[in-house]
Structure 1
């Protein structure tokens, strides 16, 4: 189901007997004709997997790199992906993105977070400066050890991570358009006091705006909790 006003999509995904509520949205920076961010989800063989990518704007083709990573995710990311396999996937994705951007888009690259939810576990890997953080009684930064550069398509080396999501927790996976503008404690308060994940995403998008009500950067946000 969709909230057209806020461009928020929400639903429930099943993973090995567990149900996860999810809400997400991706908006381009104000006055831009394209969005360099991509959110991609897969639900297969009882496992939920998520990709968030943020193409770099330096070459002007970041959107192509992010889309190439999302396409590779949909075609090649396998179920039962442990954190080690997720890391291997992003390392292999570096070459896939490089090939996809050969020619006019040569040099285009992207951040990438990929993770799977299985039996309450979070297994994933990341490269770049997008982040995945679990908010609850304490804050756990899943991507705290990631390498920001080089990005995927330009020689990236991914770092893997593991974690858990418990009842009452909210995991936020987002690009730097959120994290560069909103402090962690403000994100935590917003998502943990929201009446639902749709509202949580709406709050975070609003907080990422400038004082004039514009988006300084592309912003992609995924919020996940146990349903």
Structure 2
């Protein structure tokens, strides 16, 4: 990549009525690197309708070969995710769905697409950009999602946060922002965000939690 970055990720299952829903939970994250660029992706399978974990796994699997990502634009990311939606739907016969975010960067520009209620936030010196702010929450991938694209510029020191609703629904955005801006490393930020959720929920995770943190160098 043109610019190095510090990165860290976390995926942990939530606890529901005192019991863990399943061993792995329904959230998935991943990163693929090629010369000159990288791609980040996150999926949060919908637990309530069944096959959430399978939907998230199918979303990740359907993204395909990382070599194609360098040729994508925000618009073609939407095209790719529409194909992903079809693949998830066929594989699960519309019996499971998932949120999804795909972000590609060359260290100076970033672009991508998403659907659902997981969020991608870019913290800049003069404010914060909610990259996924225009996304369509429902239907999700596997049930006819409508991906919405986005693009932006990144500079050294700026910070990119991807997270499922296991973070956003159980912690205040302002406090999240303070941690993202204040902590020194991506690993420290991820740890402190997990502890933030636990501190407000009797030291437990009330939902599956997935976090990806990147600090551009």
Give the structure-2-normalised TM-score. Answer: 0.91
Task: Tell which has more relative contact order, 1 or 2 (C-alpha 8 A, sep 6+).
Answer: 2
Unaligned 5+ runs, structure 2: none
For 1:150-193, what per-residue CA distance to the aligned partner results, in whole angstroms no more than 9, with x for missing partners? 00000001000011222222110111111111222111110111
Deviation of residue 77 (structure 1)? 7.2
Unaligned runs of 5+ in 1: 1-14
Alignment partner, residue 10 of structure 1: none
* Match for residue 97 of structure 1 among 76, 88, 110: 88
1:111 aligns with 2:104: no
Q: Which among 8, 22, 26 is matched to residue 11 of structure 2?
A: 26
The residue number in structure 2 matching 1:86 is: 77
1:122–1:213: structure 2 CA closer, same or farther, 3 Å change rule?
same
Instruction: Report how many aligned residue pairs link the two structures.
Output: 209
Matched, 1:192 2:181: yes
2:53 aligned to which of 63, 72, 75:
63
Are residues 21 and 217 of structure 1, via their aligned partners in 2, closer, same or farther at CA, if it must alter by over 3 Å? Answer: same
Q: 2:41 pairs with 51, 61, 86, which one? A: 51
RMSD: 1.5
CA contact (8 A) 1:131 1:173 kept: yes
Aligned position for 1:8: none
- CA drift of 1:211 comes to 3.0
Classify 1:206/1:88 alpha carbon distance in 2 versus 1 (closer, same or farther; 3 Å): same
Q: TM-score normalised to the size of structure 1?
A: 0.87
Contact persistence 1:165–1:171 (CA under 8 A): no
